[in-house]
Structure formats: C-alpha cells, structure tokens
Amino acid sequence: MDTAPTPAETPEAAAPAEHFAVSTLNTWRPGCIDSVKTALRETTITLSREHLREACETLQAAGYNFLADITCLDMIPSEPRFHVIYHLLSLARKERVRLKVPVNSTDAAVDTIIPVWPAANFYEREIFDLFGVRFGGHPNMRRIMMPEDWVGHPLRKDYPVEGYR
C-alpha cells in the first residue's frame, strides 16, 4: 500500500525557497545584505546605505520595475535612529520586496535613487521635510509640505506636539 509523503518528507518543507530578490543581491555582491526577514509573505532586506543605489539598480535590472513607496521610521532613542524603507514591486514576478536602510541621527543622509527611479523625487523630499533625512545628489532637496521658514521636522518623535514656541 502506497502512502503519501508527510509534510516533513517533501522537499518544500525541508527548506523554504530563497526569495528572488535576496538571491539576486547575494549573486551581485555576496555579504551586502545585513539581514532578511519574511513575515506575512513579505520580505524585508536590510542593507547599508553604501549599497543602496547599486542594489536598487541590480533589482531594477532583475525585474523590480516599480517603486511603490519610500517611507521613514523614527526609532528614537535607538541608534540607528532612522530607517528609510523602499517598497519595490516586480510586476512580471508578482512579488514585493522591502529594502530597509538604517541611518544614524548624527549623519542622517542617504544617496538619492532618482537616477534609478525618477519617481523617488517627491518621496525623498517628503522624508527630508518631515524627518530631516537628507538625500545626497538629490536635484531639488527643499521642503515640499511645510513652509520654507518652518523650524524642525514634524514627524520626528522628539518634535513637540504643539510645535516650537
């Protein structure tokens, strides 16, 4: 009598498949990834800011052709204080991947990815305006939401609720 293999005996259960973006980046530059976390079928790749632009170029060439969003987290009092997060989508593969770049408060700057995805322009300006993270090489790094004479960055967790007085 033949019996069906148990889940532990199937090759898929032995080891989860490596995400395409992870294998692409590891092939491009082994060791460039600091960590990988998968939760709810979404993969987050943490890498240093030194590798960001080239990693974006590599992923774009591999089929991640849509920059869905860029956002920022303020993790005060932790260092690195900020995490700039890039949401990428491969339409052909129907896959999403998140790139997370930790940024210290003493040098809150990341290279722009406008040469890779021009749509990053307004996202980067918004993050600069609201969090104070600068994007090196950005063609128009100025406020986009707050008045030019505004003091501070209102989405920082240490910003006073009612503003500076």
**Residue 138 maps to a domain:** no
Q: Which long-range contacts (CB under 8 A, 24 or more apart) does 149-153 make?
A: 153/129
Element at 134 (helix H, strand E) = strand 134-136
Per-residue pLDDT at 165: 65
Give me the residues of the chain with pLDDT under 70, please: 1-17, 163-165
**Residue 59 maps to a domain:** yes
pTM score of the predicted model? 0.86
Q: Tell me the backbone φ, ψ of residue 132, rounded to 5 degrees.
A: 85, 10
Instruction: Tell how strand 42-47 and strand 95-103 pair up.
Output: parallel
The whole domain housing 49 covers 17-119
Residue 31: which CATH number?
Answer: 3.30.460.80
**Residue 40 maps to a domain:** yes
Task: Summarize pLDDT for 76-88 with one digit per residue, the tens.
Answer: 999 999 999 999 9
What's the structural domain count of the chain?
Answer: 1
Number of C-beta neighbours around residue 84 at 10 A: 25
